[in-house]
């Protein structure tokens, strides 16, 4: 095992707090005596803001790789779970209020394949394909690493909550995401290889402090949907959105990386998704979504909510990234240097 691979196996350090909510969570996890915030503090926080989403991200991460020097038993600390529930309710209420509203699942899925008017204002992949600079591609990879280094894990929570055709199809797609039984082909590993090609630090969670709230919200949404049986339909809607939109976006991102001289491992990650996700889209559409509706037709509104809220959060991140890049600014909250020289001509993060 290489040094790079070994570094990814360790739990990351706790992040730097961004406000009273995240400060309280980090303090408690460091075993400091701390009264956790109540509902008044939670509801005063912005539902899409840095403080709430960092606090929620840290609490969710206890169910994944945890944090350095934090006892694994804290995963089920009742006081932390109580706070997490308040944060979830505030975030979920905002999502429900901000999505367009119920439409048939078929229409919601078709809408994902329609290029909206003004897509250049929110579509990062279109911008990167056409005009993206090497440093912007590296920033995008750094921010996406918060999800892609745990790729497929949040979606796996839904498997025991599905039945029959939907469960079998979900497992089939997840099997591919986890490398088809070959560890070197696990998609999280392929993304680490992409990061390595771009000269980025591949340690799990390394770019957490650099990620804006809009990037954290996307990962938190998956954990929220995955960890609640009541939201299993929303998780399926999220999964469908990812698979339906992945293939064309991956083609654009592969083109952007090739245009800017990235190495073969960087291009491979997106090339892999062009073909694989085109197949996955059909399975998810007909067997995961179709199978769930067949067994639980009352899930339709939840599936649509998952689709629409995923689009909402992706568009919010897209606007933030493109506003920063058009203004000549970094999209990262703070500078992060590279861990080593890249294997390509991609310039370093500043």
Q: Using one digit for the tens of pLDDT, what is the confidence trace for 183-203?
A: 999 999 999 999 999 999 999
Share of residues in the chain with pLDDT > 70 (%): 90
Report the pLDDT averaged over residues 95-105: 96
Which pTM value belongs to this model? 0.92
| Lookup result for tokens 């995923």 | 310
Q: Residue 132: left (phi > 0), alpha (psi -120 to 50), or beta?
A: beta
Judge contact between 334 and 188, C-beta under 8 A: no
- pLDDT tens digits along 273-332: 887 767 788 899 999 999 999 999 999 999 999 999 999 999 999 999 999 999 999 999
Query: How many whole angstroms separate alpha carbon 94 and alpha carbon 5?
Result: 38
3-state secondary structure of 206: coil
pLDDT at 119: 54
Q: Residue 46's Cα: distance from chain center in Å?
A: 20
DSSP calls for 113-155: TS--TTGGGT-HHHHHHHT--HHHHHHHHHHHHHHHTTTTHHH
- For residues 215-227, one letter each, b for 16 or more C-beta atoms within 10 angstroms of the residue's C-beta and e for the rest, the string is bbbbbbbbbbbbb
**Do the beta carbons of residue 8 and residue 192 sit within 8 Å?**
yes
Are 334 and 209 in contact by the 8 Å Cβ rule? The answer is yes
In the predicted model, what is the mean pLDDT of residues 8-23? 90
Q: Residue 282's closest CA among 104, 159, 113, 99?
A: 113
Look at residue 104 in the predicted model and tell me its pLDDT.
97
Which are the contacts of 181, defined by CB distance < 8 A and separation ≥ 6? 175
Which is nearest to 257 in space by CA: 326, 346, 341? 346
pLDDT tens digits, residue range 220-254? 999 999 999 999 999 999 999 999 998 899 999 99
28: nearest Cα among 11, 47, 38, 14: 14
- Please name the residues in contact with 329: beta carbons below 8 A apart, sequence gap of 6 or more: none
What is residue 34's DSSP assignment? -
Q: Which residue has the higher pLDDT, 154 or 3?
A: 154
């Amino acid at each position: 095992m290489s040094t790079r691979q070994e570094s990814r196996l360790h739990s990351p350090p706790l992040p730097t707090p961004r406000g009273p909510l995240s400060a309280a969570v980090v303090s408690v996890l460091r075993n400091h005596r701390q009264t956790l915030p109540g509902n008044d503090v939670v509801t005063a926080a912005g539902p899409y803001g840095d403080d709430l989403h960092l606090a929620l991200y840290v609490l969710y991460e206890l169910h994944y790789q945890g944090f350095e020097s934090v006892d694994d038993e804290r995963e089920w600390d009742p006081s932390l779970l109580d706070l997490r529930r308040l944060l979830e309710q505030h975030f979920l209420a905002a999502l429900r209020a901000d999505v367009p509203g119920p439409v048939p699942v078929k229409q919601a899925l078709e809408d994902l394949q329609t290029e909206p008017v003004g897509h250049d204002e929110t579509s990062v992949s279109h911008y990167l394909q056409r005009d993206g600079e090497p440093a912007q591609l590296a920033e995008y990879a750094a921010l996406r690493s918060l999800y892609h280094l745990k790729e497929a894990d949040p979606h796996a929570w839904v498997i025991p909550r599905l039945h029959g055709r939907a469960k079998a199809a979900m497992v089939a797609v997840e099997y591919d995401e986890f490398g088809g039984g070959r560890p070197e082909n696990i998609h999280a590993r392929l993304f680490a290889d992409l990061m390595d090609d771009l000269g980025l630090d591949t340690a799990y969670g390394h770019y957490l402090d650099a990620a804006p709230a809009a990037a954290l919200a996307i990962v938190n949404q998956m954990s929220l949907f995955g960890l609640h049986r009541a939201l299993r339909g929303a998780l399926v809607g999220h999964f469908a959105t990812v698979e339906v939109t992945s293939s064309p976006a991956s083609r654009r991102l592969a083109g952007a990386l090739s245009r800017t001289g990235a190495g073969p491992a960087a291009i491979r990650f997106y090339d892999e998704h062009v073909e694989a996700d085109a197949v996955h889209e059909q399975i998810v559409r007909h067997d995961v979504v179709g199978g769930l509706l067949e067994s639980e037709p009352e899930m339709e509104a939840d599936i649509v909510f998952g689709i629409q809220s995923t689009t909402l959060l992706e568009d919010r991140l897209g606007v933030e990234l493109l506003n920063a890049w058009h203004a000549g600014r970094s999209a990262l909250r703070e500078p992060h240097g590279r861990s080593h020289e890249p294997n390509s001509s991609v310039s370093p993060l500043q």
